[in-house]
Structure formats: C-alpha cells, structure tokens
Structure 1
Amino acid sequence: MFEKIEMMRMARALGAHASERHLVVARNIANADTPGFKAADTASFADSYRASSLAPMRTTDPRHLDTPDWSPLTRQTVEETGVSPNGNSVSLEEEMLKAAEVKRGHDLSLGIYRSALDLMRTSIGRRA
C-alpha cells in the first residue's frame, strides 16, 4: 500500500541507503590497520535514487526550475587522501564524518516516514 506513495518510497530508499553506507563505513573502520586495504564508499543517495528503476522526477510546468549548483542536493566531490606506507587508504577521521552523515540520513528517513504517517492518520480522521 505505502509503495505507491512517492514520499514513503523515498523515505524507505533513504533508510536502505543509510544502512548500506553504514556497512561500508564499518568495514572501512574495521580494516583501518589492514595493509593494502582500500577504503570504499557508496554513491550518493541522490545519484542512486535517480539511477533506480523509479520514474525520474519531471517538471509539470515550464516555470519549474532545475536543482541549482549551490543546492545541498548536488554531489560535492571529496578529494581522496593519501595512502599510508603499508598501502592502506582508510582515514579514521573521514570515516567518522561519514558515520555522522549516515546517522543524519537515517534520522531524516525516520522523520519523513513519521511525518507521512501522521499526515495519513490526520487525513482519515485519527490522531497519533
């Protein structure tokens, strides 16, 4: 039932993306001392959501604007840090920042989901 509502679908996809990225960040942190280990990261949520099988967002009015370059929705490139002498490219500081981003994304998905449920309850006459 909820899969047909775009906001619910997006909140679910955001939660799944946060879970996937959490696994990657945890794997990077666990292998911080492994010689030759290369740090990995997932694609941004916006890129992965647009690339999914869902219909792309479309403008319904010629006055609608595209996402501007300065918007937080646009992907910002992060320069890769150097590799340690043993060939490991994991930076614990960067991984901790990524972990904070993952938590923020997960909290955002839960907040969107709760708000959508509250809207649906209100629309059918029930209070949360």
Structure 2
Amino acid sequence: MFDQLTVFRMAESMARHAGQRTALAARNLANADTPGYRAQALPSFADLADEGALSEPGMRTTRTGHIAGSGATALARIERAEAQTSPNGNSVSIEEEMVRAVDAEREHGRALTVYRHSMQVLRTVIGS
C-alpha cells in the first residue's frame, strides 16, 4: 500500500542509492593497493533524480554495451578522471573514499528521516 505513495518510493530509492554508494566506496577501499585499479563513483542521488533515471522502472546497466537494445537506462559507475594515480596505476584515495562513505551515510539517514516523518504524517491523518 505504502509503495504507491511517491514520498515512500523516493525514500526507498534514496536509501538504496546510499547503500550502493557505500558498497562502491568499500570496494574502492578494498582495492586501494591493487595495481591498475581505477576508483569508481556513482552519480549523486540529486543528479539521478534530475535525469529521471530513478522514476523509470526497468533494468539498469553498468556498462554502455550491456543488454544492448533493451532501452535500459545507465546507472553507470564513473571513473574519476580527476584522481591522481600512484606509481602502480591505482587511483584510489583513502581520504576521498572515507568522505564518500560519510556522505552516503548521511544520505541514508536523510532517507530514513523522510520515511519516518511520512509515516508520522500518515498516522496523524488516520488518527491512530
């Protein structure tokens, strides 16, 4: 029932996006010493919402050639070109990844706050 309300779908999408950002930051940190590993990031939730990528149901791809011809939208992991590489070709910055993980945690907290307040409004309207 609640999944039909836009505010709940938005909160769910925001929480899911924060989880994906946290997982990607963890993967980047795990590969901090892997030669040739390129750090990746997801576009911000606001950018995805502006593009309409979050409102369209359907499959998403991580690479442009993946599932060709299906009309899937790209929730692409982008390589950060501005990152400096170490002598072994690795572009992971531990400090940047820690900041990204904290940003993802804040985004997740924001999604939970939106969900809680929306539930509170519903309870008030219903009268229970």
TM value normalised by structure 1:
0.76
What is the CA-CA distance between 1:79 and the residue it aligns to?
A: 7.0
Query: What is the number of equivalent residue pairs in this alignment?
Result: 104
**Moved segments of 4+, more than 6 Å:** none
2:5 aligned with 1:5, yes or no?
yes
Q: Which amino acid aligns with 1:104?
A: R
Of 61, 79, 82, 1:80 maps to 82
Q: Which amino acid aligns with 2:48?
A: S
Of 72, 92, 97, 1:90 maps to 92
Aligned to 1:31: 31
Higher Rg of the two aligned structures: 1
Q: Which amino acid aligns with 1:93?
A: E
Cα distance in structure 1, aligned partners of 2:13 and 2:104: 13
Aligned to 1:20: 20
RMSD over equivalenced CA pairs, Å: 1.7
Q: Which amino acid aligns with 1:9?
A: R
Cα-to-partner distance string for 1:4-38 (whole Å, 9 max, x where unaligned): 21111100000000011111000000110111110
Aligned to 2:73: none
Contact 2:15-2:112 at 8 Å conserved across structures: yes
Q: Which amino acid aligns with 1:105?
A: E
Structure number with higher strand proportion = 2
Q: Which amino acid aligns with 2:3?
A: E
What is the CA-CA distance between 1:3 and the residue it aligns to?
A: 1.9
| 1:38 aligned counterpart, secondary structure | coil
Aligned to 1:104: 106
Cα distance in structure 2, aligned partners of 1:53 and 1:10: 9
Cα distance in structure 2, aligned partners of 1:79 and 1:101: 20
Cα-to-partner distance string for 1:36-92 (whole Å, 9 max, x where unaligned): 11000011112223223449xxxxxxxxxxxxxxxxxxxxxx871211000000000
Percent identity, aligned pairs only, is: 46
